[in-house]
């Protein structure tokens, strides 16, 4: 990001916006991955408990 702001001669305000926009995009991408992994684990956990609750109801 620093290289982009220097090569484009963005100035102080431009450098700030470059860091803000690209930084927010990077953080959003990482959060998306973390949320996908957490959601998959949650779904697996719920389906695991649901399976055992159906077995106990049948017997």
The pLDDT tens digits of the residues spanning 32-43 come to: 999 999 999 998
> What is the structure's pLDDT at 35?
97
Buried b (16+ CB within 10 A) or exposed e, 25-47: eeeeeeeeeeeeeeeeeeeeeee
Which domain does 41 fall in, by range?
A: 2-58
Q: How confident is the model at residue 7 (pLDDT cuts 50, 70, 90)?
A: confident
pTM for the full model? 0.61
Number of domain units in the chain: 1
Query: Residue 31 above 90 pLDDT?
Result: yes
């Amino acid at each position: 990001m620093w290289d982009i702001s220097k090569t484009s001669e963005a100035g102080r305000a431009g450098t700030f916006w470059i860091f803000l926009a690209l930084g927010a995009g990077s953080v959003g991408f990482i959060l998306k991955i973390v949320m996908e992994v957490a959601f998959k684990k949650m779904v697996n956990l719920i389906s695991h408990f649901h399976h055992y609750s159906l077995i106990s109801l049948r017997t």
